[in-house]
Amino acid sequence: MPQPHRPTRRAPGSQPPRPRSARGGGGRRTGHRDDRPRWGVRIAAVLSLVVLGSGAVGHAVMTGLDTGIERVDPFKDMKNRPQAGHGVNFLLVGTDGREKITPEEKREYRLGGAPCHCTDTVMLVHLSADRERASVISLPRDSYAEVPAHQDLVTGRPHQAHPVKLNAAYAEGGPNLTVRTVENMTRVKIDHYLEVDFTSFMKTVDAMGGVEICTAKAMHDTYTGLDLLPGTHRLTGGQALQYVRSRHVDGASDLGRMQRQQRFIAALIKQATGGGVLLNPVKFKEVSSTLLGSVRADRGFGSEQMLALGQAMRGFTPSSSEFASVPVGDPSFQVKGIGSTVKWDEPKAAKLFEALRQDRPLAPARPGQAPRGPAPVPVDVPPKQIRVQVENGTRIDGLGGRVDAALRATGFDTTQAPAAGASREVRRTVIAYDPRWDRSARTVSTALPGSELRAVAGQGRTVLVIAGADFKKAVPVRAEDPYQGEFGVVTGDQVVCGS
Report if pTM > 0.85.
Answer: no
List beta partners, residue 128. Answer: none
What does the pLDDT average to over 231-250? 84
458 burial level (CB within 10 Å; 0-12, 13-18, 19+) = exposed
What does the pLDDT average to over 452-468? 95
Position 8 scores a pLDDT of 39
Position 292 scores a pLDDT of 67
Q: Which amino acid type is present at position 461?
A: R
Does the pLDDT of residue 493 top 50, yes or no?
yes
Q: What is the 3-class SS of 14-28, one letter each residue?
A: CCCCCCCCCECCCCC
Position 147 scores a pLDDT of 93
Nearest to 162 by CA among 335, 382, 378, 390: 335
Reported as a single tens digit per residue, the pLDDT across 255-301 is 667 778 778 878 887 887 776 676 666 777 777 777 666 678 888 88
Nearest to 218 by CA among 5, 454, 493: 5
Does the pLDDT of residue 191 top 90, yes or no?
yes
Reported as a single tens digit per residue, the pLDDT across 27-50 is 333 444 444 445 555 554 454 444
Position 114 scores a pLDDT of 59
pLDDT band at 65 (very low <50, low <70, confident <90, very high): low
142 touches 165 (CB < 8 A)? yes
Nearest to 493 by CA among 337, 323, 359: 323
